[in-house]
C-alpha cells in the first residue's frame, strides 16, 4: 500500500466501533480483517469512503446493505486462504478419526490408555457436504488422495463437472444417509443456518463425524450436543462458533468427543500474507483505475 503512488496509509489496528467511526472520516478506502466490525454507524460516518476491502473471505462483519446504499464497494479475497482452511478441516477430520487431542491430553496426564482411543481408518469412508465451492473442491481433492469417496449436494453444478472433480452429485438427504464424515464450507445465510438440526440428525449415518470450519451457526450446536449424547453422532469438530469466543463452560466444548480450535481455519503465515497482499492490490486498483475485483455488491469491471 505504501509503495502505491498517491496512497496515504493510516494504520490503526484494534479500533472499536466508535473509534473506527471517528477514524474513517476522510478516508477513501478501508481494509480490515476479521477482528473489525464495519457497522451502519461506521459507514454513516464515512464521508468519502469508496471501498471496503476484507483480507479474507467472510464478510459477516461488514454491513453490506448499508455500504451498498452509500455506493461503497465491498471486496474480499475468496481464494487467498482456501488451501489453509481446507487443510484445517482435514486436520480436524483426522483428529476426530484418531482421537489425537484426547490421547495427547491423556498421555500428558501420565496415562497410557491405548484401548480407549481406538480410531477409524479414513480410506474407503465417504466424505459429504453441501456446495462445491473453492474450499470444498480442495477438500475433495485431498480426500480423494486419502482414497475416500466424496459426495455432495450442489443445486448449481452439473453432474459432469462434479464427476470431473471426482465427486458424486446427490440430493441432500442422500448426503446425510451416505456420509461417514460431513464438512461444511458455505457462508452463514438464512438458508444454511442450522443446516444440521434436530430434524436432520436422525437422517445422518450412525456414528457420523461432523466438522465445521466455515461459520458458527451452520450446525445447530444444541442439536449436535443432543446427537452426541444419544450416540448417534460419533464426534464433532468446531473451529467456528455463533459467539466468539464461546462460553468457557459450554457443554458442547466440554464434551469428550468434541474437538475444538479458536477459529484457526485461515491462521497460517502463508494465508495471512496472501490475503493481505491480494486485498491491498485490489484496493489500489480500485482507487487508482476503477478496477473492480471480487466485489460482493458491484459487478466486476
Catalytic residue status for 5: no
The DSSP bridge partners found for residue 82 are none
* Nine cell digits for residue 196: 444440521
Residue tagged active-site, from 199, 244, 270, 291: 244
Catalytic residue status for 99: no
DSSP secondary structure letter of residue 127: E
Closest to 31 measured CA to CA, from 71, 2, 74: 74
| DSSP assignment string, 159-206 | HHHHHHTT-EE--HHHHHHH-SEEEE-----TTTTTSB-TTTGGGSPT
DSSP secondary structure letter of residue 62: B
Q: At what angle do helices 100-108 and 82-98 cross, to 10 degrees?
A: 60
CA quadruple 139, 204, 103, 212: dihedral, nearest 10:
40
Residue 89 CB-half CA count within 13 A: 31
Could you give the CA distance from residue 258 to residue 109 in angstroms, rounded to a whole number? 19
Strand ranges for the chain from DSSP E: 29-32, 51-54, 73-75, 126-130, 149-153, 168-169, 181-184, 208-212, 233-238, 258-260
| DSSP assignment string, 271-282 | HHHHHHHHHHHH
Residue tagged active-site, from 263, 270, 281, 291: 263
Q: Any idea which residues carry the catalytic annotation?
A: 244, 263
Amino acid at each position: 500500500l505504501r509503495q502505491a503512488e498517491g496512497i496515504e496509509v493510516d494504520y490503526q489496528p484494534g479500533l472499536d466501533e466508535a473509534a473506527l467511526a471517528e477514524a474513517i472520516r476522510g478516508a477513501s478506502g478501508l481494509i480490515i480483517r476479521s477482528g473489525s466490525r464495519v457497522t451502519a454507524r461506521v459507514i454513516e460516518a464515512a464521508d468519502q469512503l469508496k471501498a471496503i476491502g476484507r483480507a479474507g473471505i467472510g464478510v459477516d462483519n461488514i454491513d453490506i446493505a448499508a455500504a451498498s446504499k452509500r455506493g461503497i464497494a465491498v471486496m474480499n479475497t475468496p481464494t487467498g486462504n482456501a488451501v489453509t482452511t481446507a487443510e484445517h478441516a482435514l486436520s480436524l477430520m483426522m483428529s476426530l478419526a484418531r482421537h489425537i487431542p484426547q490421547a495427547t491430553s491423556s498421555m500428558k496426564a501420565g496415562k497410557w490408555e491405548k484401548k480407549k482411543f481406538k480410531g477409524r481408518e479414513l480410506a474407503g469412508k465417504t466424505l459429504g457436504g453441501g456446495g462445491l465451492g473453492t474450499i470444498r473442491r480442495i477438500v475433495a481433492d485431498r480426500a480423494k488422495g486419502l482414497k475416500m469417496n466424496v459426495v455432495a449436494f450442489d443445486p448449481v453444478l452439473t453432474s459432469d463437472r462434479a464427476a470431473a472433480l471426482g465427486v458424486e452429485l446427490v440430493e441432500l438427504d442422500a448426503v446425510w444417509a451416505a456420509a461417514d464424515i460431513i464438512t461444511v464450507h458455505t457462508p452463514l445465510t438464512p438458508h444454511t443456518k442450522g443446516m444440521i438440526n434436530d430434524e436432520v440428525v436422525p437422517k445422518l449415518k450412525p456414528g457420523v463425524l461432523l466438522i465445521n470450519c466455515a461459520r458458527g451457526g451452520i450446525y445447530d450446536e444444541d442439536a449436535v450436543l443432543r446427537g452426541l449424547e444419544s450416540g448417534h453422532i460419533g464426534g464433532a469438530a468446531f473451529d467456528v462458533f455463533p459467539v466468539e469466543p464461546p462460553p468457557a463452560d459450554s457443554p458442547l466444548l466440554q464434551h469428550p468427543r468434541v474437538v475444538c480450535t479458536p477459529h484457526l481455519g485461515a491462521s497460517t503465515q502463508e494465508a495471512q500474507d496472501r490475503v493481505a497482499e491480494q486485498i491491498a492490490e485490489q484496493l489500489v486498483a480500485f482507487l487508482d483505475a476503477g478496477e473492480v475485483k471480487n466485489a460482493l455488491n458491484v459487478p466486476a469491471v
